[in-house]
């Protein structure tokens, strides 16, 4: 089964702080995604990528940067974290048109 | 406006009962639909996909798609306590560079009472 890992699993930072969330997949999938999950909003797509060096804008990109360094690794960067970015973040990977495999999530708290 | 709308927000059924979840899209570009399930403390996991009009059955789960009305439903027969979870409907388009991305609904929380 597809394996997607995320680190850290929990993170607490202060307003204005820098945060990097990491995601690795080991299944040679071309596509990788970053979502945030908030009560009342479901899953919302932040950024996605279809290969190393590629970045596509999602539905809620403001305040987030992302970088895909290799086929396996996808990073989400919050350069000036705000309390509104307190959320549960998921990374996923897939082939085109296929099932997305999700990681276990990172819970981020911005104080 | 939410492009993928789910109902009800929450649902409680007795063990052994039938659970019915609904999903409607407001975007005619969405032609491919998925159901994902998320147990507490875990990431979502794909349950099944449906791309053609009609029914698709996988074990106790049956999905139904009506492309004309952009309505998809999920029916869980003989519901078990282990089916208690958050269920998401997700949709994607058929053409263009963005067709690999999914748009998710807000979810339906299912509780199965023993």
Instruction: Enumerate the residues of chain B whose CB falls inside 8 A of the CB of residue A44.
Output: 104
CB contact under 8 A, A42 and B44: no
Instruction: Enumerate the residues of chain A whose CB falls inside 8 A of the CB of residue B37.
Output: none
Distance from CA of B34 to the nearest CA of A (A): 8
Q: Enumerate residues 6+ apart whose C-beta is below 8 A from B56.
A: B48, B50, B62, B63, B64, B65
Q: Tell me: the pLDDT tens digits for A21-73? A: 999 999 899 999 999 999 989 999 999 999 999 999 999 999 999 999 999 99
Instruction: Enumerate the residues of chain B whose CB falls inside 8 A of the CB of residue A101.
Output: 46
Query: Which residue on chain A is closest to B32 by alpha carbon?
Result: A97
Q: Tell me: the pLDDT tens digits for B38-92? A: 999 999 999 999 999 999 999 999 999 999 999 999 999 999 999 999 999 999 8
């Amino acid at each position: 089964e597809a394996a997607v890992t995320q680190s850290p699993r929990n993170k607490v930072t202060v307003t204005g702080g820098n945060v990097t969330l990491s995601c690795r997949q080991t299944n040679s999938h071309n596509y990788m995604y970053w979502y945030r999950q908030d009560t009342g909003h479901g899953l919302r797509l932040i950024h996605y990528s279809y290969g190393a060096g590629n970045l596509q804008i999602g539905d809620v990109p403001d305040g987030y940067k992302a970088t895909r360094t290799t086929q396996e690794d996808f990073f989400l960067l919050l350069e000036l974290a705000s309390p509104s970015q307190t959320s549960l973040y998921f990374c996923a990977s897939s082939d085109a048109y296929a099932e997305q495999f999700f990681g276990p999530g990172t819970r981020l708290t911005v104080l | 406006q939410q492009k993928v709308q789910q109902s009800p927000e929450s649902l409680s059924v007795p063990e052994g009962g039938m659970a019915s979840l609904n999903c409607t899209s407001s975007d005619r570009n969405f032609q491919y639909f998925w159901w994902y399930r998320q147990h507490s403390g875990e990431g979502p996991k794909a349950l099944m996909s449906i791309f053609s009009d009609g029914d698709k059955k996988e074990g106790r789960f049956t999905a139904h798609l009506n492309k004309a009305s952009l309505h998809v439903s999920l029916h869980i027969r003989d519901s078990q306590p282990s089916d208690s979870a958050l269920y998401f409907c997700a949709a994607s388009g058929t053409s263009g560079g963005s067709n690999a991305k999914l748009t998710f609904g807000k979810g339906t929380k299912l509780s199965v009472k023993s």
